[in-house]
Structure 1
Amino acid sequence: MKTDREAVVWTRIGMRPVKMGRIYVTDSECRFTYSEDFLKTGLPGVGIL
């Protein structure tokens, strides 16, 4: 049985940790979704190659 993998990505704004989003990896794709709190900051996002 194949399973999807998921990880939470955190960043720091000043001295406060902020959840940036979640990354999902399957056998066929990789997706990143941003958290609402991070999007409200207006900061640039993550770059994945």
Structure 2
Amino acid sequence: MTTTAKIAAAFMVLLALSSCGNTIRGVGKDTANAVNATQDAGRSVGHAARK
């Protein structure tokens, strides 16, 4: 393998790892937003039921 190919391979590995980190953080945020939306919907139903 040439030096250029090794550098390119290392760059691709780093890019893949950083992409995985961004995806994991994004999924975590999406999950948190879904939980918050579900809780808000539950509160809305609870308030409507009390009226």
- TM-score by shorter chain over 0.5: no
Could you tell me the TM-score, scaled by structure 1's length? 0.22
Could you tell me the TM-score, scaled by structure 2's length? 0.21
Greater share of strand: 1
